[in-house]
Structure 1
C-alpha cells in the first residue's frame, strides 16, 4: 500500500514533465537505424554497468594490459567517449548513481550527497534511507538504504516500465545506493549485505524474495572466499608505473598483495563479509548474482526490453584505502577486466550476442592522495571540516556576537542558523556574505556561492559556478555551496584519499557502449556529459527520455 501511494505521488509530480518529454520524443528523437533506413527492434536487454570510483585515466593508462574481450570489447569494437564528464561539482557515489539514468543532476533529482542534514530539524538524512521499510531476511539499521523515496525524478527504467508494463528493471550493487538509485521508482533493487554476505532486497519492493534469490543465498557464495588470497594477475614488472604496496600514509592496514580474506577470523563473520567490499571478490559476487538474476527473471528472453543495472563497488573501497595510483588499485581494475570478459561470454550465451547493449561508466573519478600530489610539487593537503567550522564561527562571533551562526557542513554546503539570525534580528545577507569571506580566507577553498546567487543564477560563468549550481538543490542544500582547490580534500579517519570535487580527476569518467546493431564503434573525442547516457539509452529502447532529463544524446547511435 505504501509503495502504491509513493508511486502515485511520484507520478503526479512527474506527469507535466513527462508530457513535455513525450511530445519532444514524438517530434523526432534520433534513433538507431538499420542500413536500409529502418529502425532495428530495441535491444532485448540493456546491461548498464558502473565501476564505482573509476577515473577515466586508469582505463587509458592500463589499456595495453587489458584482456582481449573485457574492457577491450568497448575500446576496440565498441564506442567510447574519451572526454566524458559529470557536469556538476559534488561528485560522490549517490549523486552519480542518481544522475546516470535520470539524465539530470542534483539540482533536479535531489540526491545532493550520500547524506545531508534536514534543513528544518538538522537530522541526518541518508540518500536512500526510509525507515518504513527493512531488508528482507537481514537486520536493518536506521540509516540503511531501503527505498528510492528521496529521488525526486524518474529514470529511464521508470519510463520503460510505464510504456511496457512487462519490462523488468533490476539494480544490483555492493552498496544500497548503487542498486536503489539506478533501479528508479518502479524497478527492483538488490544489495550486498555486509553483515551476512547475502544479497537482499527490501520490503519496499516485495514482502519476500523470489525462489532464485533464496537459492543463491542458500549456497553461501561469499563463504568460498574465506582464507582465499587476492593475488596480482600479472608479474611485478607490470605494476612499475604504480605506487608500491604498504605506503606509510595508507590509513588502512594490510595494504599489500597478496591479501588473505578473513585472515583474522576463525570463520566467516560480519567482519569478514564487510572486508570483502575492499577486494575484487565482492564484484565477482555481484556479477554472479547478476547471472542468477538473468536466469531467475528470464531477462532479455522476449521482445519486451529489460534493464539490468550492476554497480561494482570494490574499486571505490580500494581507492579510498590505498589511492587510485596504488598497485592495489591497478590490479583491482585488471581483476575487474577479466571478470567482464567472463561475464560478456556468458551474456553472449544467455541472452545472445546480438540481443543486448552493454554500457559502462563510473559514478565519479578519484583525487590523487595528497602525499602523491605533494611529491609531484603540487599545492595539496587535507583540511579539517570541524576546524574550519570553528574558525568560521569565531569570525562570525566577532562581527555579530555570541552564538554558533554556522551550524554544520551538509553535503557540499555550509548551513547557517536561521533561527539565531532571526532572534538576533541580524541581516541574513550580511551573515551570509561574512561567512563567505571567512571561507575564502581558508587556504583550501576555491569557490563559495550563496543561496541567493545559486537560486537566482546571478553568477553564471563565474569560476565553478555552473557546476556548483547543479549540485545545489533549493529544498535540501545549505546556504553557502563550497568547492575546494584542486588536490585538497576534507580529512577523514577512514579514507586515504577521496572524491567529490568539480576538478577533472573527479569528473572525467569512462562512458563506453557496445552493441553493434545499435552503436557506431569508435572513439569520440568531443566533450560529453554523463547526463547524455539516459536519453541515449531511451533512444535505443525507443521510449521518451526521462521527464527531467537535461542531457544531450551521445553521438554514437548507428545511423
Structure 2
C-alpha cells in the first residue's frame, strides 16, 4: 500500500514537471518577442513653437500655402484641432514652459514673462540670472538661465534617458523662447542680441561660442535682410484674407507716416539690430541658424535621439504691431510657410524622411484689434488698468486710512503691499472685498476674484481651473481681473496683445508629423500640457517631473 502511494506521488510530480516544461516551451517565443530588441526612437525630435500663432492661421491662409510647408504638415501630419492653454496668463514664457514641462505656472514657477517678487521687492524677469555672464557679446543680454524654472522639461528627460548622450540644442530670437524649452541640461541655447546682432548664450551653457556660431555672427546676416526692405511677397491686392493696409490701429516703424507697405528697413543697417525681430526675416534667420546647428552639432546623425527646439519670435513682434487681421501678418505667415518647406527639405536630406519627429505648436494666440471688430459690428473696446491703481489707492485710503497699499496691477493681478496692511492692523480680507467690489464696477471688467479663495468663488469650471493652474501662492498677485471678451487692456491706440483666457488667446495649433505619425486629426479636447506627455510616451521616456498632462492616445496607441 505504501509502495503504491509512493509511486502515485512520483507519477504526479513527474506530470507536473512535464506540464511546466511544455508551458515554458510553448510560451518562450511569446516572452522573447513581447519586447523589442532595442527601444525604437527617432534620430531627431524637432519642437517648433510659433510665437503668437492662433489655431485658425492653419486654415485662414491655407489656400495660399505651398504644398511643402503648412500644407504638408496638415496633410501628412496628425492635427490635434482642439488644443487649449489650461492656465492664465497666456504669455510667452508660460507657454514655452508649459509645452516643454507639461506643467502649469502654479507648479513650474514661470507665472508670466515678468512678475513682482515680494522676497526681493522688485520685478523678476522669467529667465533672469545675474550670476551668469554673456557669451558672445559685451552686453548683459546673456545674464540668463533656466534657474527660475522649478521643474524639468521633456528635453531634460531625454538627456537623462540617454545618459546625457543625446544632444539638446535650443534656438530663438527671444532668450525665454530658447532657454525654457532647452531645460536645465541643454547642451546649448542660443538667442539674439539686439545690441550687436549676434547669436549669443550664457555661461550656464558654455564659456565660449563654437567656431561655427562666431563665423555666422561675422556675416552680419541681419544687415543683408535690412537691405531688402519689406514689401509684400505677392501683389498687395491678392491679400484678400486681411484688413486694409493703412489703418489707424496698426503700429508704425520709426519715421513712417503710414502703416502700409513698403516698410523701408535699409535705415537699420549697422545701427539697430533689434529691428530684425519685427520683420519676417527674423524667422528666416532663426531657421537658417537652426539648420547650421543640425549640421555643425551633428544632430540626428547616430542612433541616439537628439532634440532641436526652435521658436520663431518674429510672428509675435509683427502681430503685436499690426494685429492678426493685417496684411503684414498674412505676409509673415506666407513667408514662414516657405521657410518651413525649406526646413523640411533640409531635414529630409540630412536626417532622412521618416527619421525625425516634428511637432508644431504655439505659446499663445492673440486678440483682434478692437477697432477692427467694432467697424464690423462686433463688440470690443480698449481699456486701461492704470487709472484703477489711483482709484483704488484713494478708496483704500478713505476706507482704511491705508497709504500706498497697492504695489501694482501687473499681469491683470492686483498686488498688495502686505507689510503696509499688516502694520496698520487692517483685516486683509476686508481690503480684498472692497477692492473686488470696486473692480467689478469698472468699465470693461467682467469679474474680479480673490485668487487665494478660488474654491469659494462662483465661476465656470473651465475658468476656475485655469485660474487655479496659473496661481502660485509665493509669486502671484492677490486679485485676478477678468476683462470682457474682446476687450484689451492697453493705453495705446494701436497694436494688440494677448494674455486672457478667451479662445483667441488660448486656442493653439498642435500638429505632429514624421516618425511613427500617421496622417489624421482629432477634434477631442486636449491641452498644452499634453504635448510633453505625448512625446514621453512616443519616445519611451519618463514624463517631466512636474507634468500633469496625459498622452494623446490617437498618437500613441
TM-score (norm 1): 0.89
Confirm or deny: 8 A CA contact 1:84 1:529 kept in the other structure: yes
Provide the C-alpha distance between the structure 2 equivalents of 1:139 and 1:385, rounded to a whole number of angstroms: 37
Is contact 2:402–2:424 with CA below 8 Å preserved after alignment?
A: no
Matched, 1:108 2:90: no
What secondary structure does 1:467 align onto? helix
Are positions 1:539 and 2:543 aligned together?
no
Q: CA deviation at 1:206?
A: 0.8
Conserved 8 A contact 1:245-1:256: yes
Q: What is the match of residue 159 of structure 1?
A: 157
CA distance in 2, matches of 1:45, 1:466: 35
Match of 2:326 in 1: 326
The answer to whether residue 419 in structure 2 is matched with residue 415 in structure 1 is no
1:53 aligns with 2:55: no
Indicate the larger mover: 245-254 or 504-513.
245-254
Equivalence for 2:279: 279
CA shift, 1:134, in A, is: 2.1
Listed one character per residue, the Cα deviations across residues 310-359 of structure 1 (whole Å, up to 9, x for unaligned) are 00001100110000110110111111001000111001011111210111
Aligned to 1:256: 260
CA contact (8 A) 1:89 1:483 kept: no
CA distance in 2, matches of 1:116, 1:512: 31
Structure 1 alignment gaps of length 5 or more: 1-33
- Partners of 1:140 and 1:128 in 2: how far apart? 16
SS of residue matched to 1:514: strand
2 CA distance for matches of 1:383 and 1:93? 22
Distance 1:88 1:345 in 2: 36
Q: Distance in 1 between matches of 2:462 and 2:218?
A: 54
Q: Give 2:440's aligned residue.
A: 440
The question of whether the paired residues in 1 share the 8 Å contact of 2:383 and 2:491 is answered with: no
Deviations along 1:161-186, one digit per CA (max 9) or x if unpaired, are 11211011111001000000000111
Q: How far off is 1:301 after superposition?
A: 0.6
Structure 1 residues 98 and 408: alpha-carbon distance in aligned structure 2, compared to 1, 3 A threshold = same
Partner residue in 2 for 1:13: none
For structure 2, the residue ranges without an aligned partner over 5 or more in a row are 1-32
- Residues 183-262 of structure 1 mapped to structure 2, 5 A cutoff: 183-187=182-186, 188-253=188-253, 254=256, 255-262=259-266
Is 1:92 the counterpart of 2:91? The answer is: yes
Cα RMSD of the aligned pairs, angstroms, is 2.1
Distance in 2 separating the partners of 1:385 and 1:138 = 38
* Equivalence for 1:4: none
Shift, 1:377, TM fit: 2.5
Tell me which stretches of 4 or more aligned residues in structure 1 moved more than 6 Å.
36-40
Match of 1:268 in 2: 270
Which residue pairs with 1:389 in the alignment? 389
Distance in structure 1 (CA, Å) of the matches to 2:295 and 2:494: 38
**1:260, distance to aligned residue in structure 2 (A):** 2.8
Partners of 2:287 and 2:48 in 1: how far apart? 10
Q: Displacement, 1:58?
A: 1.6
Separation of aligned partners in 1, 2:51 and 2:448: 28
**Inter-partner Cα distance in structure 1 for 2:261 and 2:38:** 50
Aligned to 2:345: 345
Deviates more, 1:44-53 or 1:247-256: 247-256
Query: Deviations for 1:160-217, whole angstroms, at most 9, x for unmatched residues?
Result: 1112110111110010000000001111210011112211111111111122212221
How far has the Cα of 1:94 moved from its partner? 0.6
Q: Tell me, in whole angstroms, the C-alpha distance in 2 between the residues paired with 1:116 and 1:333.
A: 31
Deviations 1:192-244 (A, max 9, x none): 11112211111111111122212221222222113213232223343123112
Tell me the alpha carbon deviations over residues 282-332 of structure 1, each in whole angstroms, 9 at most, x when there is no partner. Answer: 111111110111111100011111110000001100110000110110111
Query: Are the aligned partners of 1:128 and 1:180 in contact in 2 as well (CA < 8 Å)?
Result: yes
In 2, Cα distance between equivalents of 1:134 and 1:238:
48
Q: 2-side partners of 1:467 and 1:292: how far apart?
A: 39
Contact 1:112 1:411 in 2 (8 A): no
Secondary structure at 1:98 match in 2:
helix
How does 1:54-93 map onto structure 2 within 5 Å?
Answer: 54-93=53-92
